[in-house]
């Protein structure tokens, strides 16, 4: 009798255990039970990572400048306008240089500046300096035809002073001639003090003056001249001019 009871008790306990196991499985299956951590980490799939090509292949929003290349139009702002400005500056023509290599002309008063300076050595001498103020080279032909005061005659030239070539002045260059004003030994006659001077320029033929004359100022006290007055030919250098 007691054995039968013991067997029934074991059957009831086993049945109860089976019922509890069934209830536990049902709770796990409907999401209300507790899941084993080890089992979850090994069987649950991880969230999918975004594809690396998704962002690059997605079209840019309408009106967005993302992904656009800069406009090449030179009228646009930014790099395009800067390029246009550089192109404009490069194409700006350089200012014209005044012509100075044309055919040489004859030197005369309107294109030159003449200075008359009395010298202490040699004594009784005056140096004439003519500077080309024009834009072309000019020729100083022959010798200066000088007129002191109201004199009518042109003083003679020292023939031995004639250079081998015609004096040529580029723009800005100077030519020279010296004037022997009076005899150093006092042998000259008809001396007087001149207060004004006019210098005329010869043409290629040497027979007449050309253009306008020059009127270089003299010292306030004037210069003394007599009938021994002479001039040299125009010279390319000052040293050659004052050596006579």
DSSP 47-61: PPPPPHHHHHHSPPP
- Show the DSSP H helices in the chain as ranges: 2-29, 37-43, 52-57, 79-91, 238-242
pLDDT digits (tens, 9 = 90+) for 148-174: 998 888 899 999 999 999 999 999 999
pLDDT band at 198 (very low <50, low <70, confident <90, very high): very high
Q: Are 161 and 233 in contact (CB under 8 A)?
A: yes
Residue 2 half-sphere exposure, CB side, CA atoms within 13 Å?
A: 0
- Of the given ranges (33-37, 111-115, 125-129), which has the lowest mean pLDDT? 33-37
Residue by residue, what is the 3-state secondary structure of 35-50?
A: CCHHHHHHHCCCCCCC
Q: What is the rounded average pLDDT of the residues 183-210?
A: 93
- Per-residue confidence (pLDDT) for residue 152, from 0 to 100: 86
Residue where the block lists tokens 């002073």: 161
- 115 three-class SS: strand
- Per-residue confidence (pLDDT) for residue 243, from 0 to 100: 95
Would you say residue 190 has pLDDT above 90?
Answer: yes
Would you say residue 96 has pLDDT above 90?
Answer: no
From the list 218, 225, 223, the residue with the least C-alpha distance to 115 is: 218
Alpha-carbon torsion angle 87, 91, 95, 100, nearest 10: 140
Please give the backbone phi and psi of residue 157, each rounded to the nearest 5 degrees, phi first. -100, 150
User: Could you give the percent of the chain with pLDDT greater than 70?
Assistant: 59
Tell whether pTM > 0.85. no
């Amino acid at each position: 009798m007691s054995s039968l009871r013991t067997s029934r008790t074991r059957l009831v306990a086993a049945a109860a255990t089976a019922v509890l196991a069934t209830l536990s499985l049902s709770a796990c299956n409907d999401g209300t039970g507790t899941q084993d951590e080890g089992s979850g980490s090994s069987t649950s799939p991880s969230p999918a990572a975004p594809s690396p090509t998704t962002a690059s292949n997605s079209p840019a929003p309408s009106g967005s400048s993302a992904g656009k290349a800069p406009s090449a139009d030179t009228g646009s702002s930014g790099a395009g306008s800067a390029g246009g400005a550089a192109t404009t500056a490069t194409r700006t023509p350089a200012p014209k240089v005044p012509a100075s290599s044309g055919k040489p002309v004859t030197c005369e008063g309107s294109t030159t500046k003449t200075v008359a300076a009395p010298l202490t050595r040699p004594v009784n001498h005056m140096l004439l300096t003519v500077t080309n103020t024009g834009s072309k080279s000019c020729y100083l032909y022959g010798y200066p035809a000088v007129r002191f005061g109201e004199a009518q005659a042109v003083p003679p030239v020292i023939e031995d002073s004639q250079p081998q070539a015609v004096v040529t002045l580029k723009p800005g260059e100077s030519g020279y001639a010296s004037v022997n004003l009076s005899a150093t030994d006092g042998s000259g006659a008809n001396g007087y003090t001149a207060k004004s001077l006019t210098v005329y320029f010869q043409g290629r033929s040497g027979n007449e003056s050309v253009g306008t004359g020059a009127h270089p100022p003299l010292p306030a006290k004037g210069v003394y001249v007599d009938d021994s007055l002479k001039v040299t030919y125009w010279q390319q250098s000052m040293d050659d001019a004052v050596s006579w």
